[in-house]
Amino acid sequence: MLAGRPGLGRADAIRLIANMHQMALFTPKITPSYGQKQIDQELKNTEASLRFNCVSRNCRPSQYMEERFQAIQAAISNSEHVVFLLEDYKILRPGFLQSINCLISSGEVPGLFTPQMPQLLLQKRGMDVKEDTCQSFSVHKCARNSGAKFQLVLYPLKAGVSKLTEAREQVAVMQKKAAKKSKLLAEKQADADEALKDISKSMTGAEDQRSSMQQLRAATEEENAKIAEKKKHIEEQLKDVEPLLKEARSAVGSIKSESLSEIRSLRAPPEAIRDILQAVLLFMGILDTSWEAMRNCVFLRFLSKTSVKDEIINFDAHRITREVHKKVSALVKSKEASFDPKNAKRASLAAAPLAAWVTANLQYSEILEKISPLEQEKNQLVSNLSKAEKQIDKLSKGLLTVDEKVAALKERFEGLMKEATQIKIDLEKEQNTIKVAGTLVDRLAGEYSRWQVQMESLSQEMDNVDKCSIITAAFVTYLGGSSEKTRTEVLRSLQQNSSMHEFSPVTFCAMETEQLNWKNHGLPADSLSVENTVVMFNSTQTPLVIDPTGRVAVFLHSLIEKSELLRAAQNDLFTQIEFGIRFGKTIIVDDVTEVDASLVPIFRKELSSQGPRQVGTVTIPQHR
């Protein structure tokens, strides 16, 4: 609250303070028809912030409450500082003072908001606030605004690191793809070489196949002649016994089922029947031919078969082993009377055919044993002949399709070479791209590391932004005119007291890129010059720089656009300053030995305005 007699310039002082701090000034503009609609429209266009510096002098109850509500709404929404100027002639009712007292004492006005209105307002603005009062909310917003500058600096660094990381990942992906294509190219080339070899092999092998086929045909004809000779010799050996065997098989086929049933039903058959059946069972592979076994099991099962006659008729004499032949031969010799056709027929109608069958098979097996080498040789010749014929057939088919195979191989070879050529072209393009990208990434590796270090440093400073701000403010405000030694001692003391031993106000205020820009425009590279530049650019007052070298003026003129370098002794100094103020130029005055009194108001920014004036909501020209 700013109290005093009228005419002392309290309102002007407040406007000056607001202008110096670049804060928007809000005050109700009272007109005869001033109402809720007009104040609402004004406050909708007002840019405000989170801080309320209330200076009293105050309007009417409903309008005042609405103005305060709209001012707070504008302050919250745009996150900028605002000065709310309430003059005494605008305090139309005593209730205004009560609201002002509440605002000064507690930071909020009871009844200004309904219980739901603040939350709805903040949700509408996209804000998440849990503070109970406007004052605590203001503190919270101030803390957030302090980190906004860090976010503006961090964002490009994060974006750069992210892009470089993305570029590295893309290069790695491209390298993997190139490796796969290289492998694929090698495979295609190997396939093409293999196809070429197959073509050559197929074409050169065709003649070998023809030669082999001719040789096989000659060998086949020779084998056929040998087989015919062996077969003729075997048939000559078997021609005497085969009629007997056929006759015996025919006789077995004429045996009636009743005769077999009769033999099966005998409890003690005659010796002739028993001997004949024993020989039959031996030929059938049943070696246990004792009558007890024959009677209990084997004999009954054998004769009970419906196909017993077919088995005997279709019996192959080649199944007779040397051991079986020996046993049957001994049985026939020892029991010669039993195998006599008359005795066998007298014993049973079925016994005589079986006895003839046993005798014929015995003779047949004797001849087979004699001609066994011939049969084996014939079988081997037949087997060789079959293999030769199959091979000839295979070679014939291979010769018929050799042209098609060669044509297919040529087509495949051409396709593989085409694919390999295309892959090679694409691979060369990708390798060139990888080379360029890899070179770029390697060159930016230093920047990548530096950005990461800066990001970590800025993140630490954000965590301690309050301490960093206090130390930097003290450095800029109090140490600008001190010697380098004093600066070092005071800064070390501030760092130790705040436990910020590695903190540097220079890097806090100016990033390395900004410092590099200064040096590119002529700033000396020593740390003292950089510190002085930081103090100069972060001071709210017009700086006075003592520079015996004269390099600072040249640096500032080079750095600042629309700047003009003047000499303090030149005759048109004031005229040039007037032009600079009028056209928005930055004036740099060099070689200043003393400050003219007429320039002090300008250095203090005590400026006046001319032109139209605003009365309420109306802007009118002023005439003197």
pLDDT in tens, 590-605: 888 887 767 777 776 7
Q: Is the pLDDT of residue 544 over 80?
A: yes
pLDDT for 335-374, tens place per residue? 777 777 777 777 776 677 777 777 777 776 766 666 666 6
Closest CA to 534 of 552, 509, 558, 556: 509
Look up residue 4 and give its two tokens.
């005093």
- Give the CA diameter of the chain: 174
565: three-class secondary structure by DSSP: strand
Q: Is the pLDDT of residue 555 over 50?
A: yes
Of residues 146 and 474, more confidence is placed in 474
42 pLDDT band, cuts 50/70/90, is very low
Orientation angle between helical segments 134-146 and 465-478, nearest 10 degrees: 70
Q: Is the pLDDT of residue 435 over 80?
A: no
pLDDT for 200-212, tens place per residue? 777 776 667 667 7
pLDDT for the residue 181: 73
Question: Do the Cβ atoms of 175 and 364 come closer than 8 Å?
Answer: no
Averaging pLDDT over each range in 4-13, 422-431, 471-480, which range is the top one?
A: 471-480
Provide the β-strand partners of residue 589: 566
Q: Is the pLDDT of residue 59 over 60?
A: no
Averaging pLDDT over each range in 106-110, 300-304, 336-340, 373-377, which range is the top one?
A: 336-340
pLDDT for 214-247, tens place per residue? 776 677 677 666 666 666 666 665 566 566 556 6
Q: What residue type is 475 in one-letter code?
A: F
pLDDT for the residue 482: 85
The mean predicted confidence, pLDDT, of the chain is 69
505 pLDDT band, cuts 50/70/90, is confident
Q: How far apart are CA 37 and CA 113, in angstroms?
A: 19
Which element (helix H / strand E) includes 454? Answer: helix 445-463
* DSSP-derived secondary structure letter, 599: G
Q: Is the pLDDT of residue 328 over 60?
A: yes
Closest CA to 361 of 266, 270, 282: 282
pLDDT for the residue 46: 40
pLDDT for the residue 30: 54
Q: Report the chain's C-alpha Rg in angstroms.
A: 61
Domains and CATH numbers, the chain: 1-56+63-133 (3.40.50.300), 509-616 (3.40.50.300)
pLDDT for the residue 4: 66
pLDDT for the residue 139: 45
Q: Is the pTM of this model over 0.85?
A: no
Give me the torsion for CA of 52, 57, 62, 65, rounded to 10°. Answer: 10
Q: How far is CA 154 from CA 135, 149, 161, 457, 537, in A?
A: 29, 9, 10, 10, 21
Averaging pLDDT over each range in 38-42, 335-339, 415-419, 613-617, which range is the top one?
A: 415-419
Of residues 610 and 16, more confidence is placed in 16
Q: Which residues of 590-620 are buried (b: 16+ CB within 10 A; e: fewer)?
A: beeeeeeeebeebeeeeeeeeeeeeeeeeee
Using a pLDDT cut of 90, give the percent of the chain over it: 0
The DSSP line for 3-53 is ---TTS-HHHHHHHHHHHTT-EEE-----TT--HHHHHHHHHT----S-EE
Closest CA to 606 of 588, 584, 581: 581
pLDDT for the residue 277: 74
pLDDT for the residue 297: 47
Of residues 368 and 490, more confidence is placed in 490
Query: Of 21-30, 98-107, 173-182, 402-411, where does mean pLDDT reach its minimum?
Result: 98-107
25 pLDDT band, cuts 50/70/90, is confident
Q: How far apart are the first and last CA of the chain?
A: 34
pLDDT for 81-92, tens place per residue? 677 776 665 555
- Helix residue spans in 60-147 (DSSP H): 61-78, 95-106, 117-124, 134-146
Query: Of 8-17, 84-93, 308-317, 474-483, where does mean pLDDT reach its minimum?
Result: 84-93
pLDDT for the residue 340: 76
Using a pLDDT cut of 70, give the percent of the chain over it: 50
Which element (helix H / strand E) includes 343? Answer: helix 341-347
Q: Is the pLDDT of residue 133 over 60?
A: no
Averaging pLDDT over each range in 94-98, 387-391, 401-405, 523-527, which range is the top one?
A: 523-527
Question: Do the Cβ atoms of 601 and 579 come closer than 8 Å?
Answer: no
Residue 486's CB is within 10 A of a number of other CB atoms, namely 12
pLDDT for the residue 420: 78
Question: Do the Cβ atoms of 272 and 233 come closer than 8 Å?
Answer: no
Q: Is the pLDDT of residue 64 over 80?
A: no
Of residues 140 and 313, more confidence is placed in 313
pLDDT for the residue 280: 74
Residue 124 CB burial class (10 angstroms; 0-12, 13-18, ≥19): exposed
